[in-house]
């Protein structure tokens, strides 16, 4: 098989001027996120916008080292001609001579690929798609996806900034004028420079370069197509594609994330996983509409990297619970409205729950996952998280809270929030919008109400919402939820008597108030683990420790029978070393004295407290 050799096109300034490569880079602005997060967000948003087949997109992230054979193909068939100026040439030469040449690929499937014509100045009659030229040729094209994840394609700049060579390779399977087509094109952002022509004049170049097929007599590099593109893509290790597996693969050449402090490739993949989870968890939930649900695969140098579901990745399990409540229109969901003009702006739901042990995907100092959740995730109806509003955590460190706000899907509202996003889509900035327009008011009022709601969780005001909100107060007394965990002892929810009897005589047989330790997952069942201590003199062989689990609401403990859900169930009593002593609510003590762990199976989306007591012969001991 003879592989095609791509030719280099270096863009000249036209007589009417062009945007230099340096200006292209600056279009990203100054995102509030680091570069890797921006790359992940931009790529995933583009994938979601391109998923138009009634199926959610598959997104593959592949961090891998090129083989000697793959590197040879890049050296001879793709980057056979290196761009000027010398800084660009040196960056490519350094990569192509590297002993361990790394690349980062972002591949999507179940999407339309980069459809439409390949040249911005040639739009065939009857064609409506311009994805290819918008991504690889034009700059600053307005979105054409209704209620899409992005508004402008500026974030694609982050892909170039992520490469030490400022270069990407793009492989896409798509459709053009009713025909299936495979395309491959290389791109580089260098620096504007000049070359001396034969007549002694300076020929100015913008610093933008493409590698492709240049037809005879022309100067523009078109992408390699069909079998040429497929053969070349396979030779450098891209994932295979067919007409049934449309989509786009983007290779970031020599990713910058592997230099400096981030030298560990596994850490980089873990950070990609965290970024996807933290910003796309609504679209990763198991009950998300299949037309919107994202399927993610991570690969590190040919090996699959585990990617947890948000429902099993604290604190996203609590965010997912709030989202389910919001999607179902539950009683805890609050409408957020503006009064002048009157408009429904969106819906807000906040959940509290026991704090679970975090799953470590990266070293703690590199993680973006908060140790304690005290955040409200905000998003448009496309359900991609724009940002988080953070406030104070709850007083009890064993409990955390999470909230979700989704704008209303009315076009006037959604478009206002979309227009308030900066190029990186990582904030809502009402000042971007014109003064006096309703859209600016919508965004300002919503942000004010979200911030107020966040303050009220840990420090409730008890008053009516300001700024146009029309819902009830979100919480009761600030420390009540935490105190419930401590109040349920042998004396119940009222006055505690941990050691005493009549006249202050210390009991010989007693059990301490349970203390919540952690959450566990056992065969898909969520377990709350509590610790309690039994003091037993051994004289009464019929004495038993009994556990009573209860669901928690914002005002206190709830009668389990009043809930339309599976009640919590005691699964086991065990010693600290894991020895199981009982698999029932009751543990016959015999002569046992010491610490015990009680495991309680709890329903999804619910918090549980535990009451314990000592009983004999079916009666509570006095």
Mean pLDDT of the chain: 84
For residue 603, what pLDDT is reported?
A: 80
| Spatial separation of the C-alpha atoms in residues 494 and 483, rounded to whole Å | 12
Q: Encode 369-396: b = buried (16+ Cβ within 10 Å), e = exposed.
A: bbebbbbbbbbbebbbbbbbbebebbeb
Contact between 231 and 1 (Cβ < 8 Å) = yes
Bond before 291 cis per omega within 30 degrees: no
Name the pairing type of β-strands 167-176 and 295-300: unpaired
Gap between the Cα atoms of 486 and 496, Å rounded: 10
Q: Is the pLDDT of residue 285 over 70?
A: yes
Range of 244-258, 261-275, 523-537 with top mean pLDDT: 244-258
Angle at 178 between CA 173 and CA 184, to 5 degrees: 25
For residue 572, count other CB atoms closer than 10 A to its CB.
20
pLDDT digits (tens, 9 = 90+) for 74-122: 999 999 999 999 999 999 999 999 999 999 999 999 999 999 999 988 7
Distance CA 386, CA 425 (A): 6
Query: 504-514: buried (b, 16+ CB within 10 Å) or exposed (e) per residue?
Result: eeebebbbbbb
Q: Chain-centre distance of CA 132, in angstroms?
A: 26
132 falls in which pLDDT band (50, 70, 90)?
very high
d(C-alpha 591, C-alpha 92), whole Å: 75
DSSP state of 372: S
**pLDDT(506) > 70:** no
Give the N- to C-terminal CA distance of the chain in Å, as an integer.
Answer: 89
Q: What one-character-per-residue DSSP string does 514-575 give?
A: PEEEEEEEETTEEEEEEEEEEE--S--TTEEEEEEEEEEETTEEE-GGGSSSPPPEEEEEE-
Residue with tokens 């762990």: 597
> Rounded CA gap, 285 and 318, in Å?
12
Mean pLDDT of 373-378: 98
* CB neighbourhood size of 344 (10 A): 16
Q: What average pLDDT does range 3-26 have in this prediction? A: 78
Interval 297-351: pLDDT, tens: 999 999 999 999 999 999 999 999 999 999 999 888 999 999 989 999 999 999 9
pLDDT, tens only, 425-448? 889 999 999 998 999 999 999 999
385: left (phi over 0), alpha (psi -120 to 50) or beta: beta
Between 304 and 525, the more confident residue is 304
> What is the biggest distance separating any 2 CA atoms in the chain, rounded to whole angstroms?
111
What is the spatial distance between Cα 599 and Cα 529, in angstroms, rounded to a whole number?
Answer: 5
C-alpha atoms less than 13 angstroms from C-alpha of 339 in its C-beta half-sphere: 7
Question: Which range has highest mean pLDDT (43-47, 65-69, 610-614)?
Answer: 65-69
Residue 30: what pLDDT? Answer: 55
Q: What CA–CA distance (Å, rounded) separates 525 from 378?
A: 29
Report whether pLDDT(153) > 70. Answer: no
DSSP state string for 168-188 = EEEEEEEEETTEEEEEEEEEE
**Cis? peptide before 85, omega within 30° of 0:** yes
Sequence-distant (≥ 6) Cβ neighbours of residue 29 within 8 angstroms: 154, 422, 423, 424
- pLDDT score recorded for residue 537: 77
Q: Mean of the pLDDT values across residues 382-409?
A: 94
User: What radius of gyration do the chain's Cα atoms show?
Assistant: 30
Say whether 157 sits in a helix, a strand or coil: helix
Confirm whether pTM is higher than 0.85: no
User: Pairing between strand 374-379 and 399-407?
Assistant: parallel
Q: Are 400 and 315 in contact (CB under 8 A)?
A: yes
Dist CA 108 CA 328 (whole Å): 30
Strands 619-620 and 374-379: unpaired
Length of the chain: 622
Q: Are 543 and 616 in contact (CB under 8 A)?
A: yes
pLDDT at 382 over 70: yes
CA distances from residue 266 to 159, 273, 603 in whole angstroms, order as listed: 20, 11, 34
Nearest residue to 445 (alpha-carbon basis) of 301, 342, 516, 580: 342
- Pull the structure tokens for residue 412: 């006037």
DSSP calls for 74-96: IIIIISSSPPSSHHHHHHHHHHH
Confidence of residue 465 (pLDDT cuts 50, 70, 90): very low
Coil, strand or helix: which one is 36?
helix
* Closest CA relative to residue 526, chosen from 290, 309, 289: 309
Across 230-252, average pLDDT: 95
In angstroms, the CA 101 to CA 158 distance is: 20
């Amino acid at each position: 098989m003879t592989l095609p050799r791509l030719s280099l096109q270096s863009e000249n300034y036209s007589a009417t001027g062009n945007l230099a490569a340096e200006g292209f880079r600056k279009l990203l602005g100054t995102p509030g996120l680091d570069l890797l997060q921006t790359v992940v967000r931009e790529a995933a948003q583009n994938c979601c916008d391109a998923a138009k087949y009634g199926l959610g997109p598959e997104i593959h992230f592949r961090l891998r080292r090129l083989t000697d054979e793959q590197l040879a193909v890049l050296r001879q068939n793709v980057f056979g001609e290196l761009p000027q100026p010398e800084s660009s040439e040196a960056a490519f030469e350094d990569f192509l001579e590297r002993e361990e040449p790394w690349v980062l690929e972002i591949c999507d499937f179940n999407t339309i690929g980069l459809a439409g014509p390949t040249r911005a100045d040639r739009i065939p009659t009857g064609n409506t798609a311009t994805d290819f030229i918008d991504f690889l040729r034009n700059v600053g094209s307005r979105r054409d996806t209704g209620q899409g994840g992005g508004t402008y394609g500026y974030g694609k700049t982050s892909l170039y900034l992520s490469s030490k060579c400022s270069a990407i390779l793009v492989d896409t399977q798509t459709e053009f004028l009713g025909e299936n087509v495979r395309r491959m094109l290389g791109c580089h952002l260098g620096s504007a420079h000049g070359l001396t022509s034969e007549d002694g004049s300076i020929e100015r170049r913008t610093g933008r370069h493409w590698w492709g097929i240049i037809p005879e007599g022309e100067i523009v590099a078109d992408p390699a197509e069909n079998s040429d593109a497929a053969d070349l893509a396979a030779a450098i290790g891209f994932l295979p594609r067919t007409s049934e597996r449309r989509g786009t693969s983007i290779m970031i050449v020599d990713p910058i994330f592997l230099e400096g402090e981030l030298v560990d490739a596994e850490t980089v993949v873990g950070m990609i996983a965290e970024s996807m989870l933290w910003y796309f968890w609504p679209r990763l939930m198991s009950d998300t509409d299949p037309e919107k649900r994202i399927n993610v695969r991570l690969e590190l140098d040919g090996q699959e990297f585990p990617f947890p579901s948000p429902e099993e990745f604290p604190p996203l399990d609590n965010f997912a619970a709030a989202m389910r409540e919001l999607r179902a229109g539950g009683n805890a969901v609050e409408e957020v409205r503006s009064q002048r003009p009157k408009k429904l702006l969106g819906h807000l739901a906040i959940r509290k729950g026991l704090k679970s042990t975090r799953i470590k995907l990266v070293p703690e100092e590199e993680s973006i996952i908060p140790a304690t959740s005290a955040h409200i995730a905000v998003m448009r109806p496309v359900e991609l998280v724009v940002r988080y509003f953070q406030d104070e955590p709850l007083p009890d460190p064993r409990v955390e809270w999470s909230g979700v706000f989704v704008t209303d899907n009315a076009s006037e509202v959604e478009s206002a929030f979309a227009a308030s996003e900066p190029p990186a889509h990582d904030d809502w900035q009402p000042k971007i919008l014109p003064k006096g327009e309703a859209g600016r008011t919508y965004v300002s009022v919503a942000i004010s109400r979200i911030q107020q709601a966040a303050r009220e969780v840990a420090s409730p005001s008890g008053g009516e919402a300001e700024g146009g909100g029309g819902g009830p107060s979100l919480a009761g007394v600030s420390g009540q939820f935490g105190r419930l965990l401590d109040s349920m002892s042998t004396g119940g929810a009222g006055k505690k008597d941990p050691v005493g009897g009549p006249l202050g005589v210390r009991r010989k047989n007693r059990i301490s108030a349970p203390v919540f330790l952690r959450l566990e997952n056992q065969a898909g069942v969520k377990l709350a683990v509590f610790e309690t201590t039994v003091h037993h003199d051994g004289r009464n062989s019929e004495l038993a420790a009994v556990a009573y689990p209860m669901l928690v609401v914002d005002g206190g403990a709830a009668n389990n029978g009043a809930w339309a859900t599976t009640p919590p169930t005691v699964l086991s009593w065990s010693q600290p070393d894991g020895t199981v002593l009982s698999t029932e609510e009751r543990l016959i003590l015999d002569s046992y004295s010491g610490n015990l762990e009680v495991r309680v199976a709890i329903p999804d989306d619910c918090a549980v407290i535990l009451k314990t007591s000592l009983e004999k012969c079916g009666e509570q001991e006095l």
